[in-house]
Amino acid sequence: MKAGRAQGREGAEPAPGPAEVLASARNNFSGGWVEDTLVIKAVRGTRDLLPPESAVWNFVEGEVRDLFRAYNFQEIRTPIFEETQLFARSVGEETDIVGKEMYTWEDRTRREGELAQSLTLRPENTAGVVRAYIEHKLWERGLNKLYYIGPQFRRERPQKGRYRQFYQIGAEVIGPASAGSESAARDAEILELLSSLLDRLGIKAWNLELNSIGCPADRARYNDALREALAPLAAKLCADCQRRAIRNPLRVFDCKVPQDQPWIEQLPRISQYLDEPCRKHFEQVQELLSALGVPFALNDRLVRGLDYYTRTAFEFTHGALGAQNAILGGGRYDGLSELLGGPKAPGIGFAIGEDRLVLALNRPAAGAEGKPDVYLAPLGAGTDREAARLARELRSQGIVAELGDESFRLKKSFEIATKLGARYILIVGENEVQSGAFALKNLESGEQVTVPRSELPPRLRPIS
Ligand code: AMP
């Protein structure tokens, strides 16, 4: 049997039921066959993080959590899927994310009278955090400093550093203006945190690109200027840009089509359209960064691919990442809460691409994992029980213990213990169990001693 082609569905038909979906999945199956058995593979653009690489991710997340603690951020976990409207209204209908990349589905109703909902796997996390801010009246807490770590989903063309399920480490500072949320000091604190994080992880060759994309009033004037400049050019631009030129001219800057770039290069720059308060705010951010010794470069082409940004917008890039060189991005979103039906709540945030952070880290995965302190080798029939009890005792005292099997010969146990990199091997034979003293061999030095049961924990405890 071979995988067949998809059956086209024409016209407005009722939504397929589970059996039909399953049948279609069988037809569209893209995996392989091993002796007539279906081999299912991870979906294109998704991947498994296996040990030892997963240890590098844990290392990164551990460092990040410590750093967030130092800056007094607290963790928030929002759902992985939300109502589609949340992203359409915040990220923007004309953005590539909403227009082309979201995983959206009509959720089936389970009961009569229940309304079907359009749901979407989150393509980013800021919208979800601001939704939660409004839903739980988080303004009552004053300034909220929240961080998240988790998967996001975008149907992009997969390549190195670009996945359809990718991970972001992000943070948001949001609250009433009276709590200082609008201050340039918040922008500087966020940017300084990011530079410290990259330095702490040993990622050296980063560049911070900074811009201000103004407030809605600036944006309206700038959009008018862009529309005017684009009108005579439109016919020369790609179909997407022709549409953007009318509906949301700022998004023209997201265009990746090489032939369009010389025209886009000639367009007016946002820096010429900032009003006095926005200009002043941006100057303050720059002054603070200089005082903190955080290097940056101004880039008035940087507009970010999401509509909700206002004022400060930034990106950190890294030379070693190739085409996908943006390691993180962020900015202010002073009007987002109101856009989602909440009170005025200025805010600023960022999202780091964790996949790219790990790539930039270039840290050898091997050795990143912890090794066992001891390998317990049961020897002879009936010794599994005592070895299991001993392992339980040692583990409860913080010792990393790996447990063998009484069916293994001693040679095999030694081979496994060595392969695992255990510091010690502990022989649990009948004689040892009866006498209460165990043969313990240091696999690095080769030294072997007999140790009473009660003295095992202090001997095996890792040297910290
Ligand atoms: P954005 O939410 O588009 O501002 O993206 C913030 C960061 O997330 C980017 O700078 C990337 O590091 C990362 N990122 C965005 N899309 C992807 C993707 N498809 N695969 C991997 N990382 C991504």
pLDDT digits (tens, 9 = 90+) for 257-312: 999 999 999 999 999 999 999 999 999 999 999 999 999 999 999 988 888 999 99
Pull the structure tokens for residue 318.
């890294």
φ/ψ region of 280 (left if φ > 0, alpha if ψ in -120 to 50, else beta) reads: alpha
Q: Is 122 in the pocket of ligand 1 (CB under 6 A)?
A: no
Mean pLDDT of 15-36: 62
The Cα angle at residue 299 between residues 297 and 302, in degrees rounded to 5: 130
Q: pLDDT class for 10, splitting at 50, 70, 90?
A: very low
Residue 7 pLDDT = 37
C-beta separation of 45 from 83 below 8 A: no
* b/e map 141-174, b = 16+ CB within 10 Å: eebbbbbbbeebbbbbeeeebbbbbbbbbbbbbb
Of ligand 1's atoms, which has the minimum distance to the CA of residue 356?
A: 12
Q: Is 124 in the pocket of ligand 1 (CB under 6 A)?
A: yes
CA-based nearest residue to 149, from 167, 172, 165, 137? 167
C-beta separation of 80 from 121 below 8 A: yes
User: Which residue has the CA at smallest separation from atom 1 of ligand 1?
Assistant: 329
Q: Is 166 in the pocket of ligand 1 (CB under 6 A)?
A: yes
Distance from the alpha carbon of residue 162 to the mean position of ligand 1, in angstroms = 8
Of ligand 1's atoms, which has the minimum distance to the CA of residue 162?
A: 20
Of ligand 1's atoms, which has the minimum distance to the CA of residue 330?
A: 4
Distance from the alpha carbon of residue 279 to the mean position of ligand 1, in angstroms = 28
DSSP state, residue 98: I
Is 50 exceeded by the pLDDT of residue 11? no
pTM beyond 0.75: the answer is yes
Whether cis (ω within 30° of 0) applies to the bond prior to 232 is: no
Distance from the alpha carbon of residue 329 to the mean position of ligand 1, in angstroms = 8
Mean pLDDT of 243-264: 92
Mean pLDDT of 57-84: 97
Residue 12 pLDDT = 43
182-194 confidence digits (pLDDT tens): 999 999 999 999 9
User: Which residue has the CA at smallest separation from atom 13 of ligand 1?
Assistant: 353
Mean pLDDT of 412-429: 97
Residue 113 pLDDT = 82
Place of tokens 């061999």: 441
Is 70 exceeded by the pLDDT of residue 27? no
Mean pLDDT of 116-123: 96
Mean pLDDT of 401-410: 97
